[in-house]
Each structure stands twice: as C-alpha cells, then as structure tokens.
Amino acid sequence: MAETPKSPRRRPRGGYIGEAWLVILLAILYGGALAAVQTSLSGRIEQNKRDQTYDAIPQLVPGADKAKTQQRLVTGEDGKESLVYEAIGADGALKGWVIPASGQGFSDRIDLVIGVNASVSQITGLYVLEQKETPGLGDYIRSESFRDRFRGKPTDRPLVVVKSEPADPHEVRAISGATISSESVAAIVNQAIGNLKGPIGRLAAGGGAAAATR
Amino acid sequence: MERDGPTALERFLNGILPENPTYRQLLGMCPTLAVTGAMQPALTMVGATAFVLIASNVMTSLLRGLLKPHLRILVFTLTIATFVTIADRFLAAYMYSMSKQLGPYVPLIIVNCIIISRAEICASKQGVGVAVADGVGMSLGFGLGLASIATVREILGSGTWFGLRVLPTSWVGWGIMVLPPGAFVTLGMLIGAVEWASRVQPHTGIWRTARSLWSWRRLASSS
C-alpha cells in the first residue's frame, strides 16, 4: 500500500465508525448473548457448588439428612465468622456438624469439609472439595482409603501425621510419596477444629441462641 | 458456490488425517498436553473445542463479506471468546465435576490456534457449507490426536481406559505417564511414529500388502 508520509493520521475513508461498526455491533450482540447465557445458567452453577457440600453431608455425618441440614454462622476462636452446617437426622435430632475448611497444600489451596459428631469430640468423616495436588501422588488425598484414616479420630489434641502404622489414636498415616499433601490435610483439619471446637460446643449447648440461622 | 478453494469434502477429509491438527499442523498443543491424562477429560475437551470451532467457522463465514482486513483478527477473537464462554458456562452448569477437572483449560480454548487458523484459512474465505465441513473435519482430527495420546497415557499410567480397568490390578500405574512429562514423552513418540509411518509407507511390505488388499479387485483383474 502506498502510504502518504505527510499525513500519517489521515482519517480512514468512511470515518472510524465506518471502519469499526462491525466490531461494535458484534460486541453488543455477543455481550447480550453472554448475558442471556449467564442469567439462565448461573442459578444452576451456584446450585452445583452448594450441592457439592450438601451431597457429601450424609457420608460425613452418619445419619444426617441433607434436606434438614442448616447453615449456621459461628464466631471462631480467631474472632472471624465461619460458616458451618448443623447436620440434623431425619428424626430431627442433632447428628453432628460439618465444617468447611481450607488451607495451603503442596501445590495449591485444598478445600475440605470435615464431619464431626454432635459433641465435637470425634471426626466422623472427611471430604475433599477442591485440590490441585500432584496427579498420581498427592491427589490420593481424595481417595476413600486416605479419608477413612481420619474417621473416628478424637479431637482433644491435634492430629499427627506418621509414616508407619499409627500407634496412638491421634496419629494418622501419611500417603507414601505424598507426605506434604497428607500433612497439609491434617494441618487444615487441626486448624479448623482448634478454631471451631469451642464455639460449636457452646452453640450446641446453647441451642443455637447465639447464632444467626439462615 | 465458491469459485476457488478446496471443496467441502476436501476440507472435511483434510482435517482428519492429511492436515491433522495435532500430528501435522502441531496446533493446539496446550490442551493436547494438559488434558490427555485420561480419556474422559480429553474427549470433553474435544467436544468443547468442536463446538467452538464449528460455531466460530459458521459465524466467520457468514460475516466474511463484511470483514475489514485490519480488523478481521479482532472479529475472530470476539467470536471465539463468546463461544468459549458459552461452552465454559454450559460445562459448569451441566457437567460440574468435569468442568472443575478441566479447570482453566476450557477458558483457554480462546487461544487454541486451531480455531483462529481455520477462521483465517477457510471460514473467512469460503461459504458456510465448506466452513462447517472444515470445522467438523478438523474437530475429528483433533479428537483423534487427543484420544490417541490419552489412550496411551491412561492405560500405561492408570491401567484404565475411560475409567474402566483394562490391565490387571497387579499393574502398577506408571505415575509419570499421568504427570506432565508423560504428556511430552507420549506426544513426541506418537509424532515420531506418525512421521515414520508416512515416510516408509511406499517401501515396506506391510503397507504394500495393505494397499494391495485395498485394491485387490483391480489387481485381480489386471493379472
């Protein structure tokens, strides 16, 4: 193209709108289409995220009914408000609590939900919502065989990760080849239970008068 | 009809083997390496990419008379980004666990060079019919590429295929095949194998036999 060097800023023929009208029109149309998609699907996507926690509740707390489970806000020992789930059985009795917890793993954040019994004295289940640990090694934290190692552990003292068969009830056996991922999970569990054990115990004793119910 | 350029059938067939996106054009390497640890995520990625590729080809072909040369890439990118976002939201709504497993690689379809190259090479120059045939052919080629890599990696790495056990439980999965190095090794080996097969094709006995069988009728009549 023969460009005239004297007028490098010459307006294009038809003006800028004449050049760019298609881009502008498409941007508006596509924007509208995306807004429509987002509006129609966002409810379902949010529901999927909630269901993920709710679907895990019956295996986290034995006897719990996910339809009767309620969300509660409790103020932890660290002074921050945390969301917990009050797991209620089909008979209306309190079966236990589900505590969402997260922390740093080997490669990225790990999101867990921890099930504990009604008096918060024992862990009844563990479920991994989100993790990006090494495939084939650290991602075994999702496996049932690893999560089962936490079931029935007492909460009076922090859990310790060991590399051999546990000799003490407070010990949890690590996944071989993924000690850091195993320790991260145990640390997240210890931190969450240490933070919320007292407040949840008081909430259970006080019948929930101090907490906001949703 | 278009006066020049390959026909719809040529475009369709080209995408599958002769111009296979993975083995011939070496395009779209990011998903090829990232999501081929197992068949299910690989084929979900192929499905999402196929949707975006075909939809963007149709849209680009419809708009081809209005494109300004210096703004065409912007239009391609806008179109592709829109369809990728739709695919991403759709996966999150209807295939939530798969959407989480694929993570950032669904939004990253936006930068998959197969799609923008088809818009540039075919859809912005030819009619809708040819553009659709091109999109379907290239998607099948991409599917073959990803499925072949995922088959090797899933079977050797986990002893399963589509999550079903194919090797005995005594098989210890080669952890490295599921990890990123396994992706590079498998891709390199398979590209080498495809290259070798296409070079030695006319000279080796196996290929000559296969070709003879293919045209046995003609051979029989000539002898």
How far CA B153 is from CA of B37, B177, B187, in Å, comes to: 6, 5, 10
Contacts of B79 in chain A (CB under 8 A): 26, 30
Q: How far apart are CA B222 and CA B217, in angstroms?
A: 9
Q: Any idea where the domains of chain B sit in the sequence?
A: 8-200
Query: Would you call A45 and B173 a contact, using CB atoms and an 8 Å cutoff?
Result: no
Quote the mean pLDDT of chain A.
85
Q: What is the pLDDT of residue B25?
A: 92
pLDDT, tens digit, 9 for 90 and up, residues B42-72: 999 999 999 999 999 999 999 999 998 889 9
Q: How far apart are CA B159 and CA B165, in angstroms?
A: 6
pLDDT, tens digit, 9 for 90 and up, residues B175-213: 889 888 999 999 999 999 988 887 775 555 555 555 555
Contacts of A22 in chain B (CB under 8 A): 63, 66-68, 71, 75
Q: How far apart are CA B122 and CA B47, in angstroms?
A: 21
Q: How confident is the model at residue A132 (pLDDT cuts 50, 70, 90)?
A: confident
- Which residue in this structure is represented by tokens 């298609």? A22
Q: How confident is the model at residue A50 (pLDDT cuts 50, 70, 90)?
A: confident
Half-sphere exposure of A103 (CA within 13 A, CB side): 15
Mean pLDDT to the nearest integer, A93-111: 90
Mean pLDDT to the nearest integer, A174-187: 92
Q: What is the pLDDT of residue A182?
A: 94
| Interface check B69 vs A, CB under 8 A | no
Q: What is the pLDDT of residue A213?
A: 44
pLDDT, tens digit, 9 for 90 and up, residues B126-175: 999 999 999 999 999 999 999 999 999 999 998 999 989 999 988 888 88
| Interface check B107 vs A, CB under 8 A | no
Q: What is the pLDDT of residue A65?
A: 84
Quote the mean pLDDT of chain B.
88
| Interface check A52 vs B, CB under 8 A | yes
pLDDT, tens digit, 9 for 90 and up, residues A168-180: 888 999 998 899 9
Q: What is the pLDDT of residue A8?
A: 58
Q: How far apart are CA B100 and CA B102, in angstroms?
A: 6
**Which range among A27-31, B104-108, B156-160 has the greatest average pLDDT?**
A27-31
Contacts of A42 in chain B (CB under 8 A): 89
Q: How confident is the model at residue B106 (pLDDT cuts 50, 70, 90)?
A: very high
- The yes/no answer to whether this complex scores an ipTM above 0.90 is no
pLDDT, tens digit, 9 for 90 and up, residues B77-104: 999 999 999 999 999 999 998 998 888 8
- This prediction has a pTM of 0.76
Select from B78, B173, B178 the Cβ nearest to the Cβ of A27.
B78
CA A88, distance to chain mean position in Å, is 21
| Letter string b/e over residues B84-101, b meaning 16 or more CB atoms within 10 A of that residue's CB | bbbbbbbbbbebbebbeb
Q: How far apart are CA A39 and CA B186, in angstroms?
A: 42
Select from A34, A45, A135 the Cβ nearest to the Cβ of B92.
A45
- Which residue in this structure is represented by tokens 């040529």? B10
